[in-house]
Structure 1
Amino acid sequence: MVRGKSAERMSMNRPDVVEALPRTVIDPPAVPASCRGRLVEHARWQWHPADGGDPAAYAEQFLADHGLRLHDLARPARHHHEHGICGAALYLSAAAAALLADGPPGAPNPADLPEAAVVVYAHTDANPTHPVPPPPWWHGTWTESWNPREHADAVTAIRQAISRGDVYQVNLVGHASAPYTGDPLPALTRLGRLPGARYGGVLTGPGWAIGCASPETLIEVRDGTLTTRPIKGTRPATTTGHADLLASAKERAEHIMIVDLERNDLARIARTGSVRVDELFAVRRWCDLWQAESTVRADIADGLGLADLLRAVCPGGSVTGAPKLAALDHIAALEPVGRGASMGALGWIGPDHIDLGLTIRTAAVDGNAVHAWAGGGITWDSEPAAEVAEAAAKTAPVRAALR
């Protein structure tokens, strides 16, 4: 089901935006290297909450209808291009991910996007078309969802909730938007090529587009193994920043709390006793930042299907907090603008593997504006001014790529 109202509105207002562009080959995040530059859209499904039902179940059924049968991920098929199908891109917004966990979806999506989408791709050997370029890309001044004082006050509110014992940690996210003209796809492509973007790429739809530069693995399923790589802890990419991150008791405690949450999520869908932490608090670089990452793995349980996988891991613990449902309640109460395309899931589904990134460092475009999000995890030891500065440091490379 493809909704047409937003596309109609965009065509009336701005004939040079996303849906008016000739169809070109676009590489979504995590597409296999052998398939890059060779994909053409075969079929599409999009979902809005008003459509009702379970988006995870719908996505699994839609993929099965197009030759990608994912009812038992412990027994993957081969990547054999049945009926010409290569694989699919899967996207879930933060609100859709929260609904899968029976949590509140939060404030409304500020962007005119679906909350879930699956795009099935086939291979082509034809050279991509090179249309006459539309007017150059330009965006105006960013409008923030909250000012530094309001952001700091939200951090203080979370610290008070922690002192009452309501939660242990909550991730707070802010939003900014800017009007634009011209073709957004080159800017979104630049975003996807930022250093350290493990899930760099672009996904487009009728009247919208998402650019992702995420370094974080929400869930990977390959060769019978489940893998998640939570990221928590950030410092400037300097020698001092590296040493400071390694020495920070606050960052390490925050990080380990999320690792434990992710271990629990995987245990729900893994063989008993198979969950393990292969790497703990490894410091890696994304653009101009050091970030702490761990690798948690488990052996997949027999009979696990895609829908149950998504229900178990969504939304990602590093962008919610602990306990997850209590954190979602505080997020819904404090964040004035919805998380939209950020803090959800975006990646690749093939017959032989799944690789979904967590949509941090992500921007979206609709018919009116370009949207970006950034935030961080709040613990009792968080300092409001430092949390505001960290969110600004995370969004700076994203905004620079979009200029």
Structure 2
Amino acid sequence: MRKVGPYGVETLPKVCAADSGPAGYAADSGPAGYAADSGPAALVDVPAAPAACRGALTERARLQWRLGDGGDPAALAEEFLAAHGLPLHDLTRPAPTHHDTGACGAALYLSAAAGALLAGAPTTAPEPAPVLPDLTVVVYDHRRTPVTPPRPPSAWWLGAWTESWTPRQHADAVTCVRAAIGRGDVYQTNLVGHAAAPYTGDPLPALSRLGALPGARYGGVLTGDGWAIGCASPETLVEVSDGHLITRPIKGTRPATAAGRTELLASAKERAEHIMIVDLERNDLARIARTGTVRVDDLFAVRRWCDLWQAESTVRAAAADGLGLADLLRATCPGGSVTGAPKHAALAQINALEPVGRGASMGALGWVAPGRVDLGLTIRTAAADTELLHTWAGGGITWDSDADAEVAEAAAKTAPIRATLAGR
């Protein structure tokens, strides 16, 4: 019998270390116990999942892990996928021919806290939505059965947002970062604020609407027992196809007007901040790339997301021989555009200054399969637990940052997310 969670979607047993498989996940690798019933499949709308397959996917197995469980989340993810027919030990191999039978691929979600753990940085801030896992891997099979028809919409109410810090506290944190830059501790630190709002009704339709926002390259949802994540991210954390690596850091924001575009292109502060992060991403990819293959394309190209212009660059490289998923995650998580430079020092400052954890935001969410990885950075992302919706937003702080302007920029980034969640 299927278990139906609070969002009306099928939920599956949490995989735990008590099972008899390799450490951290279950030995059961087949449909039995996960999708034995023959009822209609629920629509899978994971960011970056193959569009042609989304209406024909069913969950086979799931790994959920939290920081308190111990172990290496990157290694656990790679081992779990291999145990369920999706070997990602060598991403330089060409992607196999995609068939409509057997395993299609998997959703992969890694929290910002898990990324900080991989980087060896502290993570002591309390999480505002502790029900969210820090790693989720969901393996999907193809199944040619009807998709569950949409349920009648339930009454939806979203209450007022409560910020995790006041505008004054946010501005004071900006001042602290500038002081640290003045001392030479960091060159740039990304600060992120959180807000929560109560709701009644089913949050899944609201979270699903985020994927339709203009510029949401990684639009989609991922659900679990008592939680759901909705993403409208425009930013590629890392993409791998046939051994080629790509990351697309975004840094620099202005209103999406003609004057805003001109101002963004002319801003020495925004360009310096952007190039600093591009250099950080070049270094991250160089750790896992063939020597001499890292290059930058489209430096400081202006793209649109909702009513904002943002500056984006493309960093490419050829993967080093034998590069696997675990080493890829260790090299790229957490993303440089949401941490700062140097990355480890910025993470320590983030942990000291931000009053709550980053939850579902500033992590990784997307699709993985043999020969293919496509993970978005979870900016412009919201999450639901059984009582509250959560959003996060922030920006990079440099010596030239103005505290009040940084507070206003964070508000501009989260405004379309909150309006969409409210149904406007």
Band the TM-score falls in, shorter-chain normalisation: over 0.9
Q: 2:275 aligns with which of 243, 252, 256?
A: 256
Which residue identity does 2:211 align to in structure 1? Answer: G
Specify the code of the residue in structure 2 equivalent to 1:270: A
State the partner residue of 2:50. 32
Distance apart, 1:19 and its partner CA: 5.7
Pairs within 5 Å for 1:282-361: 282-361=301-380
Which of the residues 284, 287, 297 maps onto 1:278?
A: 297
Shift of 1:104: 1.3
Q: Displacement, 1:328? A: 0.3
1:4 is matched with none
Is 2:79 aligned against 1:61? yes
Unaligned stretches of 5+ residues in structure 2: 12-39
CA shift in 2, pair 1:227/1:386, >3 Å: same
TM superposition shift of 1:351: 1.8
Aligned counterpart for 1:161 among listed residues 157, 180, 188: 180
Counterparts of residues 170-185 of structure 1 (less than 5 Å):
170-185=189-204
AA aligned opposite 1:144: E
CA–CA distance in 2 between the matches of 1:216 and 1:317? 12
Is 1:388 aligned to residue 413 of structure 2?
Answer: no
Partner of 1:3: none
Give the superposition deviation at 1:291. Answer: 0.1
Report SS of the residue matched to 2:55: coil
Q: Provide the residue aligned with 2:395 in structure 1.
A: 376
Letter in 2 for 1:27: D
8 Å contact kept, 1:18–1:184: no
Q: Does residue 215 of the first structure (1) align with residue 234 of the second (2)?
A: yes
Quote the Cα distance in structure 2 between the aligned partners of 1:82 and 1:49: 35
Match of 1:80 among 98, 101, 105: 98
- CA separation in 1, counterparts of 2:10 and 2:246? 39
Equivalent position SS for 1:36: helix
Moved more, 37-46 or 18-27: 18-27
Q: 1:60 to 1:240 in 2, by over 3 A?
A: same
Which sits farther off after the overlay, 72-81 or 201-210?
72-81
Q: Give the TM-score of the pair, scaled to structure 1.
A: 0.94
Q: Note if contact 1:79-1:352 (Cα within 8 Å) is conserved in structure 2.
A: no
**1:260 alignment partner AA:** D
Residue aligning to 2:120: 102
Contact 2:86 2:370 in 1 (8 A): yes
Shift of 1:311: 0.1
2:140 aligned to which of 121, 134, 138: 121
Residue 93 of structure 1 contacts residue 344 of structure 1 at CA under 8 Å; is this kept in 2?
Answer: yes
Conserved in 2, the CA contact under 8 Å of 1:16 and 1:135?
no
Q: CA shift at 1:193, angstroms?
A: 1.2
Mapped to 2, the partners of 1:23 and 1:137 lie a distance apart of 25
Aligned-partner Cα distance in 1 for 2:396–2:224: 31
In 2: Cα distance, 1:401 partner to 1:71 partner: 39
260-269 vs 131-140, which moves further:
131-140
Query: Is the 8 Å Cα contact of residues 103 and 325 (structure 1) preserved in structure 2?
Result: yes
Equivalent residue number for residue 139 of structure 1: 158
2:26 matched to which residue of 1? none
Q: Which amino acid aligns with 2:118?
A: L
Amino acid corresponding to residue 265 of structure 2 in structure 1 = L
Give the match's secondary structure for 1:175: strand
- Cα displacement string for residues 281-318 of structure 1 (whole angstroms, at most 9, x for unaligned residues): 00000000000000000011001110010000000000
SS of residue in 1 equivalent to 2:310:
strand
3-state SS in 2 of match to 1:37: helix
Gaps of 5+ in 1: 1-6
- Given that residues 41 and 57 in structure 2 are in contact (C-alpha distance below 8 angstroms), is that contact kept between their aligned partners in structure 1? no
- Conserved in 2, the CA contact under 8 Å of 1:220 and 1:227? yes
In 2: Cα distance, 1:138 partner to 1:26 partner: 25
- TM-score, length-normalised on structure 2? 0.89
Q: 1:67·1:83 contact (CA, 8 Å) conserved in 2?
A: no
